[in-house]
A and B are shown apart, each in its own frame.
Chain A
Amino acid sequence: MKHDARPQRWRITRRGFLIGLGLVGGGLALGATLGLPAARLALADLLGDGAGPPASFPKEPAIWFAIQPDGRVVMAMPKVEMGQGVHTALAQLAAEELGVAWEQMSVAQSSSLGPVRDPAGTSASYSVMGLFGVIRETAATLREMLRAAGAERLGIAEAEIAQGFVIDPAHPARRIGFGELVAQPREWTAPAEAAPLTPPDRWRIIGQPVPRLDLPAKVRGEAIYGYDARVEGMLYGAVARPPRLGAKLRRAAPGTALSRPGVVQVVIRDGFAGVVAESRLTAYAALNDLELEWELPPPFTHRDLEERLAAQAGSGTIIQQRGDAIATLRGTQVIEATYRTPLAAHANLEPQAALVDVQPDRVRAWVSTQSPVQVAESIATTLGRAADTVEVTPTYLGGGFGRKLLITAANEAAILSAAAGKPVHVGWTRTEEFRHSYLRPPTYATFRAALDGQGAIIALEQRHASGNVLFDFIPAPLRWLLGSDFGAWRGARLVYHIPNLLVTSQTVELPVPTGPWRGLGLLANVFAVESFIDELAHTAGVDPLEFRLRHLPDSELGQRFRATLLAVAEMAGWREPAPEGRARGIACSVDMNTVAAHVAEVGYAGDKLRVYRVWAAVDPGLAINPDGLAAQTEGGIMMGLSATLFEQVTISEGRIEAGNFDRYPLLTIADAPEVTVQILRSGDQPFGGGEPPMGPIAAAVANALFALTGERKRSLPLG
Chain B
Amino acid sequence: MELTINGQRYTVADEPARPLLYVLRDELGLTGTKFGCGAGICGACTVHVNGVATRSCQTMIATLAGAQVTTIEGLADGEQLHPVQQAFLELQVPQCGWCMSGQMMAAAALLAENPNPTHEEMIAAMRYNYCRCGSYARIARAVMRAAELMKEGAA
A and B held together in a complex: yes
Residues of A whose CB lies within 8 Å of any CB of B are 82-85, 211-212, 214-216, 218-225, 227-228, 230, 236, 279-281, 347-351, 396-401, 427, 429-430, 627-628, 631-632, 634-639, 641-642, 660-662, 666-670, 672, 674-675
Instruction: Specify which chain B residues have a CB less than 8 angstroms from the CB of A401 in the assembled complex.
Output: 132
In the complex, whether B29 has a CB less than 8 A from a CB of chain A is yes
Smallest CB gap from A640: residue in B: B134
Complex A-B, nearest 8 residue pairs according to Cβ-Cβ distance, in ascending order: A221-B32, A638-B134, A398-B98, A83-B95, A83-B96, A221-B72, A218-B97, A635-B134
A-side contacts of B18, CB under 8 Å? 281
List residues of chain B with CB within 8 A of the CB of A628: 92
Evaluate whether A661 and B130 lie within 8 angstroms (CB atoms) in the complex, with A219-B81, A221-B73, A280-B22 already known.
yes
Q: Which residues of chain B are near A219, meaning CB under 8 Å?
A: 81, 85, 88-89, 94, 100, 104
Chain B residue at smallest Cβ distance from A659: B39
Q: B33 at interface (Cβ–Cβ under 8 A)?
A: yes
CB-contact partner of A227 in B34, B71, B88, under 8 A: B34
| Complex interface residues of chain B between 1 and 53 (CB less than 8 A to chain A) | 18, 22, 25-27, 29, 31-39, 41-42, 44
Q: Is the CB of A348 within 8 A of B132?
A: yes
Which single residue of chain A is at the shortest CB-CB distance from B74?
A221
A188 to B147 alpha-carbon distance, docked (Å): 54
Give the residues in chain B near A350, CB-CB below 8 Å. 34-36, 96, 98
Contact B97 A214 (CB under 8 A): yes
**Contact assessment for B35 and A642 in the assembled complex, using a CB-CB cutoff below 8 Å:** no
The answer for the CA separation of A393 and B155 in the assembled complex, in Å, is 47
Residues of A within 8 A of B130 (CB): 349, 661, 666, 668
Asked whether A672 and B140 contact (CB < 8 A) given A279-B22, A349-B99, A627-B92, the answer is yes
Closest beta carbon of chain B to A670's beta carbon, Å: 4
B98 with A349: CB separation less than 8 A: yes
Shortest beta-carbon distance, B79 to chain A, in Å?
10
Say yes or no: B72 contacts A670, CB within 8 Å: no
Are B138 and A230 neighbours in the complex by a CB distance under 8 Å? no
Give the residues in chain B near A667, CB-CB below 8 Å.
134, 136
Least CB distance from A15 to B in Å reads 37
8 of the cross-chain contacts (CB-CB < 8 Å) are A215-B92, A221-B101, A223-B97, A228-B25, A230-B31, A350-B96, A638-B133, A639-B133
Quick one: given A212-B92, A214-B97, A669-B127, are A427 and B35 in contact (CB under 8 Å)?
yes
Instruction: Please give the distance in Å from A250's CB to the nearest CB on chain B.
Output: 29
Do A660 and B37 have beta carbons less than 8 Å apart? yes
Decide: A675 near B132, CB < 8 A? Known: A83-B95, A349-B34, A661-B39: no
Whether the Cβ atoms of A631 and B92 lie closer than 8 Å is: yes
Most chain B CB neighbours (cut-off 10 Å) among A216, A631, A669: A669
Task: Tell me, in angstroms, the Cα distance from A227 to B104 when the chains sit together.
Answer: 20
Nearest opposing residue in chain B for A628, CB measure: B92
Q: Is B123's CB within 8 Å of the partner chain A?
A: yes
Closest to B88 in A: A219
Output the least CB separation between A648 and chain B (Å). 16
Q: Mark B99-127, 1 if CB is under 8 A from A, else 0.
A: 11100100000000000000000011011
Chain B: CB-nearest residue to A214: B97
Chain B proximity of A93: nearest CB distance (Å): 19
A660, B35: Cβ atoms closer than 8 Å: no
Number of B interface residues in the complex (CB < 8 A): 54
CA separation between A219 and B137, bound complex, in Å?
17
Known: A221-B32, A221-B75, A349-B44. 10 other contacts (CB 8 A): A219-B94, A220-B73, A221-B31, A279-B22, A349-B130, A429-B38, A668-B127, A669-B123, A669-B131, A670-B123
CB of B91 to closest CB in A, whole Å: 10
CA distance A230 to B137 in the complex (A): 33
- List A contacts of B34 (CB < 8 A): 225, 227, 349-350, 398
- In the complex, the answer to whether B94 meets A430 with C-beta atoms within 8 Å is no
Q: Is the CB of A675 within 8 A of B92?
A: no
From known contacts A279-B22, A396-B97, infer whether A662 and B39 are also in contact, taking CB-CB under 8 Å: yes
In the assembled complex, the Cα of A281 lies from the Cα of B61 at a distance in Å of 14
| Contact yes or no, A638 B31, CB < 8 A | no
In the complex, are the beta carbons of A236 and B26 less than 8 A apart? yes
CA distance A662 to B38 in the complex (A): 12
Question: In the complex, A279 Cα to B15 Cα: how many Å?
Answer: 12
Determine how close the nearest CB of chain B comes to the CB of A125; give it in whole angstroms.
Answer: 14
The answer to whether B140 touches A662, judged by C-beta atoms less than 8 angstroms apart, is no
Task: Name the distance in Å between B145's Cβ and chain A's nearest Cβ.
Answer: 13
**Interface: B59 (CB within 8 A):** no
Chain B minimum-CB-distance residue to A351: B35
Contact of A398 among B88, B89, B92, B96 (CB under 8 A): B96
Decide if A672 touches B22 in the complex (CB within 8 Å).
no
B137, A634: Cβ atoms under 8 Å? yes
Pair B37/A661 contact, Cβ less than 8 Å: yes
**Assuming the A-B contacts A230-B29, A280-B22, A669-B126, are A82 and B140 also in contact, with contact meaning beta carbons closer than 8 angstroms in the complex?**
no
Is the beta-carbon distance between B98 and A225 smaller than 8 angstroms?
yes
Contacts of B140 in A (CB 8 A): 669, 672
CA distance A347 to B131 in the complex (A): 10
Q: How far apart sit A674 and B138, CA to CA, in the bound complex (Å)?
A: 10
- Nearest chain B residue, comparing its CB with the CB of A397: B96
Per the bound structure, the CA–CA distance linking A668 and B126 in Å amounts to 9
B residues near A211, Cβ cutoff 8 Å: 89, 92
Complex Cα distance A196/B74, Å? 49
Chain A CB within 8 A of B69 CB:
no
Given contacts A221-B32, A281-B22, contact A638 B97 (CB under 8 A): no
User: Contact at A662–B100, with CB atoms within 8 Å?
Assistant: no
Chain A residues, Cβ within 8 Å of B135: 631, 634-635, 638
Closest to B71 in A: A221
> From residue B16, how far is it (CB to closest CB) to chain A in Å?
13
Q: Which residues of A contact B131 (CB under 8 A)?
A: 349, 638, 669
Which residues of B are found within 8 Å of A400, using beta-carbon distances?
96
Query: Nearest Cβ distance between residue B75 and chain A, in whole angstroms?
Result: 8
Smallest CB separation, B120 vs chain A (Å): 10
Residues of B near A228 (CB, < 8 A) are 25, 31
Cβ-based interface call for B144 (8 A):
no
Q: A636 — which chain B residues lie within 8 A by C-beta? A: 134
Who on chain A is nearest to B134 by CB? A638
The one of A399, A430, A672, A675 that contacts B133, using a Cβ cutoff of 8 Å: A399
Residues of B within 8 A of A668 (CB): 127-130, 136
Partner of B41, one of A83, A641, A662: A662
Q: Is the CB of A634 within 8 A of B76?
A: no
What residues of chain A lie closer than 8 Å to B72, measured between beta carbons? 220-221
Q: Which of B39, B71, B96, B137 interacts with A660 by CB under 8 Å?
A: B39
Bound form: Cα–Cα A667–B42 in Å = 11
Contacts of A223 in B (CB 8 A): 97
User: Which residues on A sit within 8 Å (CB–CB) of B104?
Assistant: 219
CA distance A228 to B35 in the complex (A): 10
Contacting residues, chain A, for B35 (C-beta < 8 A): 227, 350-351, 427
A349 in complex: contacting residue of B42, B75, B126, B138, CB < 8 Å: B42
Contact B95 A84 (CB under 8 A): yes
* Shortest beta-carbon distance from A401 to chain B in Å: 7
Smallest CB gap from B94: residue in A: A218
A662 to B34, CA, bound (A): 19
